Structure 1
Amino acid sequence: MVVRTDFPFRVVEHEDMGIVLPDGTRLSARVWMPEDAPANPVPAVLEYIPYRKRDGTLPRDEMMHPWFAGHGYAAVRVDMRGNGDSQGLMDDEYSPQEMADALAVIDWLSRQPWCSGSVGMMGKSWGGFNCLQAAFNQPPALKAVVSVCATTDRFADDIHFKGGCLLGENFGWGAVMLSFSSRPPDPALRPDWREDWLRRLEAEPWLAPRWAAHQARDAYWAHGSVCEDWSRNTVPAMIWGGWADNYMNTVAALVEGAPAPVKGVVGPWVHQYPHTAVPGPQVGFLQIALRWWDRWLKGVPNGAEADPAYRAYVLHSEPPDASAKARAGHWVAEAVWPSPRVVPQVWHLAAAAPGVSHPRTPVGYLQTDESPDGFFVEVATLQHLGLAAGEFFPMGLNAEMPGDQAGDDALSVCFDGPELMAPLQLLGAAELTLRLSSDRPLGFVVARLCDVAPDGSSVRIAHGMLNLCHRDGMATPAPLVQGQPVAVTVRLDQMGYRLAPGHRLRLALSNSYWPFVWPSPQAGVLTVTAGRLVLPVHPGADRSEWTPPPAEHAAPWQHLVLRPGQSRRFVEQDLITGTRALVVEEDGGDVENLTHGLCSGETMTERWEIAPDDPLSARAVHVWEQRLSRGDWRIRTRAEATMTGTATHLRMQARLTAWEADRQIFLREWDEEVPRHFV
């Protein structure tokens, strides 16, 4: 990693530039720009998110935005309405108000004397979503976007539902936002900070029940899903993803679907910007983004539009590691996507012959020939299967990525392929078709592709899931008719992976996946009588087809660690009741910003517990604490959230408490139930 302190342009910073919206609300922007921009206007690059530029994203902002400014751009980091140092109240994620504000900000930027009139928009996660959404709305000044870890479909491929299955992260993210949005503006910038803070606390939404109530792909999810009308995706877009993140599908979807010039890159990374993310190798994301901005915001004829459509890092077989710092692999570059180099290969599910056993194959095999006899297998997995699944969007090295799958495999119904005599390289999405019936009206199936080494260790390559109520479409769910056979297709996540000779490809099936997926109300039995797996086989390459520039960034922020943090992640088993629990403890410590003196810190605990034989025992408890101080000023907030379920409803409770110094000044509680129609 190279730290750059010398740039072609001398940079000046504005720590609190006011952007007044049409309704009079003032948003706070932190802006870096070339010193001579007022005399020689430059394009603006906007990042617009709710995560607080004064403390929340400041460490990454200072490594990234001054770098762009030093290369001839006005880098603009805006706190969204109701967050950080901006006025107003926030009501939901990706709301019509949020997008109206974004379009107003883009227009405002384009009319500033230091701006050339051209605006780009970039972001990761929330910012990656809303820059694609802004491009979908086609504001005249928006000339290009760079989106990292985002989605084109808010229902099918986000933190709320996946394949129609209700994700545990729907509740988890609701708890996160309850905590994140509870913090006040900085008194150094907002004399009215206290009044504004109390208004925020009173208006704070508890979003997890709202999201969980929309159990079909309705108008709520269609809003903000840019796949609703691909023809509107005309703004040039560069889209990034990571195999260790669960937004890897967006890259292929946007490259394939959008008519605009689109370039996609998928690396080995978690849910972070690619110049700092693990597992390595990191790449020169800032240089590659600059090339994109130069082409579309400045009109520099650098050939960026002729770059390969899809560049992907193909992971190589390695032992499982939930905290991998780096992954072996190589880059492939596809001129178009879908690639003509990827050839579908069909493997059939087949049961083991009577009396034949294999230590790696509890049930059956994957084979290229279809068995004339068919097979019959029941999938009725224990509720705690999935404890090695990892986070939906892992952020770093604290065992957040998928670990050894051997334990979950042992609880699953597995089909193993033959021992490989040559490498098997996969690039794209596998598709699994099953013929099955269910003894319950509600249920789901999870499919995992794994790389099984000779020692029995198992690495998850990709997974996919389908809520069986959504077998005929995400917008038209219907309960299953008990005992009636149906054909269902599960599309697994995109992948780039090369299995080594001597390894086996495994397909693991389950109808539980805790805590990644919230369990069905009853422990059902799926009877599978036929199956076919279509693999995207890539010919491979003798060497990398792309050499990205090395990672670099601007100087990191100046800070003092007041109290170091620590992390713990472990699985508990109650030897009396059999209950299993995944416990996550993240103490971020406390730090002081040496530039403006604000001290900040946060602490989080999660507990996900379930009994192996009782889906209604599922219980999630999350507690978040936020701390801010400077001198004699000190505030603290605590968000506590609990989720449980009955046979007919999901129950989500929350409590938000705020203290000023040592005096409690706010307390609010929620207790909401959501009917279980399809989950």
Structure 2
Amino acid sequence: MAGLDDGMTQLEAFANGVETRSVETVWIPLADGRRLAARLFLPANPAPVPVILEYIPYRRRDLTRLGDDQLHLWFAAHGYAGARVDIAGTGDSEGVMGDEYIAREQDDACEVIEWLGQQDWCSGAVGMIGHSWGGFSGLQAAARRPARLKAVVSVYSTDDRYACDAHWMGGCLIDDNFSWGSALFNYCALPPDPAVVGHDTWREMWRVRIENATLIPAGWMRHQRRDEFWKHGSVCEDFGAIACPVLAVGGWLDGYPRTVFNLVENLSAPCKGIIGPWGHKMPEIGFPGPAIGFLQECLRWWDRWLKDIKNGVEDDPDMRLYLMDPLTPDPVATTRPGRWLAIRNWPEAAAQPQTFSLGSDGTLVRGEAIKGAGKTCSVRSPLTTGQTGQAWCPYGQGRVAPDGAVDQRVDDALSLCFDLASLTEPLSILGTGWLRLLVSADKPLAQVAVRLTDVAPDGTSTLVSFGVLNLAHRNSHEFPEALVPGQSYDVQVELKPVGQIIPAGHKLRLAISSAYWPMLWPSPEQAMLTIDPAGSRLDLPVLAEGFESEPVIFGPVAQAPAGPSTRLIAGKQTRDRRVDVATGTMTLTALSDDGTARIDETGTEVSSSHLETMIIAPGVATSAEYLSECKIGFRRDDWQAHLQTTVRVTCSETAFHVTGSLVAHEGDQIFAERKFDETIPRDHL
């Protein structure tokens, strides 16, 4: 096993006689009597080895099974055990879920780590790996400092649950709060598998989950400020609590690249960052590409910190960042052209600030503004502005995952735009930009959305980065303050980090709007913003002149083969926008249908779909409406269970109204159903 080439694909490794084994279900006992269900992946060699823990709620026996095979069997073939553990109340684990990232979940993680480290097949060292929730749980567990946790690989995660997660951005309520909240509402009430927990037990466990279900997105909406609810589980509250090494990974298209910078810049423990062009898919999948041999990078991390192999991983560059070449919106493109940069002293060695000033004539110029020059500019954007934007956390782009941004010209026409003259040489943006605005509004509550776009000679406008701010949160996310209409405020809007080249012959455009639907829930009234260009400026980090990167080399994509499955019904992803010509009301529908597949090893057929509908009229803020329908079903000769949940969100000027339903079927009969109806006051939102 030690003689394997790190670049060898898992298929080749198996063909060359590397044997692994998996244990379908192992019960991990907790101090309070509950048990968590785990699936183990072990090297055939009986010698004790470190174990890699993935701790998430997404059902190890069915929903994540094939991906678990590809990840953990690969590690097993390279000398590591793997443990895929379902969080309490999910999959076959006992208990109830409650909510995401609660204290009990983290307490359980520490117990799981200790139990794994005590097993006779384990050397005593534990690492944690995870994507999204699993990335969160790795950081949160690390902050608790369990003695056996020696290293973490955290992919697409956050250090700040309020400022950088699927709920709020710049103090604005974002669409993912409903999309993700609706999905979790369904996940929390799914049944266990009777083949694992027992045919006499599963119904009672399912009933308890349903009885304890809560309307998840409504619960999150009760916390509109950065209060203790969000501070809990936010490792930025004390970066010093994390003592074990962290490999932080992000994607420019994904919702979480900011976290990589925050961890690399603030952790005192060893920390390295990798950011590729990806959406919310693992780097070895790479959508958009290029994919990388990410599991080999993880293996180097584990070898150094779990086996104490002196392989020099601590001497890797601080950051390996993918600098993207220009690419106009393309419905069939699956790869982003560009190049990798290795940066050893981030950010000083690579990124230099460059200032751009706004002109009242719609120009953007390099250098500081002339104070007091020019006149103000105003914008009252239709509430349909934002229709060409991306989802807050896209999974990809183009026809395969149509949640990325398209040509921005429609939204540009509804915004206040400032254009830089055509570039005579490329401009390489690398990192986090900021827009400082001197702005007033005609309403006490208002929001501002900012976009950077790359405007080609033919007029095509491609999204580069964006940022948003609830102006009531201009000074604090914890203590918001309403605006005084007509009074000017000096505010700063943080832009999403990016690595992007604007080529010679193109223009950089700054677009400012007072609405950004469906990503942002609108303010109670349509507002007009008035901006003083002379008191405003754009600060961008640009690649340092003369910077030369050492070569960045990743291995070829490597995964283990997944267990056998049979596709029964093809999935599909669609996104459709329709406008009522008479009223201007815009309806956006997004369907994510995974179809139906049979897991051949268990005989279980799994189907799932999520349909979202978002509606708004161009001039009526209280017309905003969100609807969701989630369906997940399981079928086997001896078992048929199906769960359908719905969520609907509407509002008045003073409150949100959230309703939901849950209908569970066993076979053709209703097993249980519940309805929810909640009114939540708006708090400076």
Q: TM-score range by the shorter chain?
A: over 0.9
Is 1:458 matched up with 2:461?
Answer: yes
3-state SS of paired residue (2:330)? coil
Q: Where does 1:405-416 land on structure 2 (aligned, <5 Å)?
A: 405-416=408-419
| Alignment partner of 2:574 out of 568, 574, 583 | 568
- The question of whether the paired residues in 2 share the 8 Å contact of 1:345 and 1:536 is answered with yes
Q: Deviations over 1:131-172 (max 9, x none)?
A: 001111111100000000001000011101011111121122
Match of 2:183 among 171, 176, 190: 176
| Aligned-pair CA distance for 1:5 | 4.5
Which has the higher mean CA deviation after the structures are superposed, 398-407 or 294-303? 398-407
The residue matched to 1:189 in structure 2 has which SS?
helix
Asked if the contact 2:356–2:364 (Cα under 8 Å) also holds between the matched residues in 1, the reply is no
Cα distance in 2, alignment partners of residues 200 and 517 from structure 1 = 32
Deviations 1:182-225 (A, max 9, x none): 22111111111111111111111211111111111111111100
When normalised by structure 2's length, the TM-score is 0.95
AA matched with 1:219: E
Is residue 207 of structure 1 aligned with residue 210 of structure 2? no
Q: Could you give the per-residue CA deviations for residues 287-336 of structure 1, whole angstroms, max 9, x where no partner exists?
A: 00000000000000000000001110001111113563100000111102
**Number of matched pairs:** 667
For residue 288 of structure 2, the aligned residue among 279, 300, 303 is 279
Do 2:664 and 2:670's aligned partners in 1 also have CA atoms closer than 8 Å?
A: yes
Query: In the alignment, is residue 197 of structure 1 matched against residue 225 of structure 2?
Result: no
Aligned structure 1 segments of 4 or more residues deviating by more than 4 angstroms: 540-544
Q: Residue in 2 aligned with 1:418?
A: 421
| Correspondence list, 1:180-329, <5 A | 180-191=187-198, 192-321=201-330, 324-329=333-338
Aligned partner (choices 563, 586, 589) of residue 583 of structure 1: 589
Partner-residue secondary structure (3-state), 2:495: strand
Aligned pairs for 1:278-427 (under 5 A) are: 278-321=287-330, 324-352=333-361, 363-372=362-371, 373-396=373-396, 397-427=400-430
Secondary structure at 1:215 match in 2: coil
Equivalence for 1:358? none
* Counterpart selection for 1:555 from 554, 561, 564: 561
Do the aligned residues in 2 keep the contact of 1:367 with 1:418 (CA within 8 Å)? no
In 2, are the aligned partners of 1:351 and 1:364 still within 8 Å (CA)? yes
Deviations 1:38-87 (A, max 9, x none): xx110011000001111111121111110001111111100110000111
- Give the stretch that moved more between structures: 210-219 or 279-288: 210-219
Residue type at the aligned position of 2:477:
M
1:14-25 aligned within 5 A: 14-25=23-34
Deviation at 1:595, TM superposition (A): 0.8
In the alignment, structure 1 residue 608 sits paired with structure 2 residue 617: no
Q: Is the 8 A contact 1:577 1:611 kept in 2?
A: yes
Which residue in the other structure is 1:545 paired with?
551
- Structure 2 Cα separation of the partners of residues 323 and 389 of structure 1: 17
| 2:670 maps to amino acid | Q
| Higher alpha-carbon deviation: 543-552 or 458-467 | 543-552
Report the Cα distance in structure 1 between the residues aligned to 2:433 and 2:555, rounded to whole angstroms.
31
| 2:660 paired with 1:651 | no
Q: Aligned residue for 1:641?
A: 647
Q: Quick one: which amino acid aligns to residue 105 of structure 1?
A: V
Amino acid at match of 1:101: D
The 8 Å contact of residues 349 and 544 in structure 2, kept in 1 or not, is answered as no
Task: Compare 387-396 and 118-127 and name the one that shifted more.
Answer: 387-396
Counterpart Cα distance in 2 of 1:381 and 1:197: 47
Q: Which residue of 1 aligns with 2:678?
A: 672
Q: Hey, what's the Cα distance between the residues in 2 that align with 1:499 and 1:139? A: 46
Q: Deviations over 1:523-545 (max 9, x none)?
A: 01111113101110103767773
> Is contact 1:625-1:636 (8 Å) kept?
yes
1:135 paired residue among 139, 142, 164: 142
- Corresponding residue number in structure 1 for 2:91: 84
Question: Would the aligned equivalents of 2:139 and 2:235 in 1 still touch at CA under 8 Å?
Answer: yes
Report the AA paired with residue 383 of structure 2: Q
Cross-structure match for 1:115? 122
Superposition deviation, residue 392 in structure 1? 1.8
SS in 2 for 1:251: helix
Task: For residue 552 of structure 1, report the CA deviation from its aligned partner.
Answer: 1.1
Structure 1 residue 636: Cα displacement = 1.1
Q: State the partner residue of 2:536.
A: 531
SS at match of 1:4: helix
Residue 42 of structure 1 contacts residue 116 of structure 1 at CA under 8 Å; is this kept in 2?
Answer: yes
Render the CA deviation track for 1:207-266: whole Å, top value 9, x for unaligned. 111111111111111110000012112210001000110101011110001101000000
Could you tell me whether the CA contact under 8 Å between 2:275 and 2:322 is conserved in 1?
yes
Q: Which amino acid aligns with 2:598?
A: E
Which whole-Å deviations, capped at 9, do the CAs of 1:602-625 have from their partners, x for residues lacking one? 122111110011111001111011
Tell me, yes or no, if structure 1 residue 53 matches structure 2 residue 60. Answer: yes
CA spacing shift, 1:43–1:632, aligned 2, 3 Å:
closer
Name the amino acid aligned to 1:79. D
User: Helix, strand or coil: the match of 1:77?
Assistant: strand
Do 2:35 and 2:93's aligned partners in 1 also have CA atoms closer than 8 Å? yes
Q: Which amino acid aligns with 2:572?
A: Q
What is the alpha-carbon root mean square deviation over aligned residues? 1.5
Note the alpha carbon deviations across 1:488-543, whole angstroms, 9 max, x for none: 01111111011111001111111111010111010011111131011101037677
Greater CA drift, 639-648 or 368-377: 368-377
SS at match of 1:81: coil
Distance 2:179 2:271 in 1: 32
Q: Which moved more, 1:564-573 or 1:307-316?
A: 564-573
Distance 2:487 2:360 in 1: 22
Distance between the aligned counterparts of 1:226 and 1:336, measured in 2?
Answer: 23
* CA apart distance, 1:9: 4.8
Separation in structure 2 between the aligned mates of residue 84 and residue 392 of structure 1, nearest angstrom: 28
Q: Secondary structure at the match of 2:333?
A: coil
Is the CA contact 2:343–2:549 (under 8 Å) kept in the aligned structure 1?
Answer: no
Q: Which residue of 1 aligns with 2:4?
A: none
In structure 2, distance between residues paired with 1:4 and 1:375: 66
Structure 2: how far apart are the matches of 1:321 and 1:224?
38
TM-fit CA distance, 1:557: 2.9
Once the two structures are TM-superposed, the CA of residue 549 in structure 1 deviates from its matched residue by 1.3
**Aligned with 2:440: secondary structure?**
strand
Distance 1:113 1:248 in 2: 38
Please tell me whether the aligned partners of residues 368 and 537 of structure 2 are also in contact (alpha carbons under 8 angstroms).
no
Per-residue deviation, 1:24: 0.9
Moved more, 291-300 or 526-535: 526-535
In 1: Cα distance, 2:331 partner to 2:129 partner: 29
Give the superposition deviation at 1:560.
Answer: 0.9
The answer to which of 288-297 and 381-390 deviates more is 381-390
Q: Secondary structure at the match of 2:477?
A: coil
Which residue is equivalent to 1:165?
A: 172
Aligned equivalents of 2:682 and 2:379: distance in 1?
A: 23
Instruction: Answer yes or no: is the 8 Å Cα contact 1:323–1:401 preserved in 2.
Output: no
- Residues 342 and 549 in structure 2, CA contact (< 8 A), matched pair in contact too: no
Report the counterpart of residue 480 of structure 1 in structure 2.
483
Q: Residue 209 of structure 1 aligns to a residue in which SS?
A: helix
Structure 2, unaligned stretches of length 5 or more? Answer: 1-7
SS in structure 1 at match of 2:13? coil
Q: Which moved more, 1:424-433 or 1:9-18?
A: 9-18
Q: Contact 1:330 / 1:544 at 8 angstroms: preserved in 2?
A: no
Q: Distance in 1 between matches of 2:39 and 2:393?
A: 27
- SS of equivalent residue, structure 2 residue 464: strand
CA–CA distance in 2 between the matches of 1:366 and 1:645? 41
In structure 1, give the amino acid aligned to 2:62.
D
Distance 2:519 2:254 in 1: 13
Q: CA deviation at 1:563?
A: 1.7
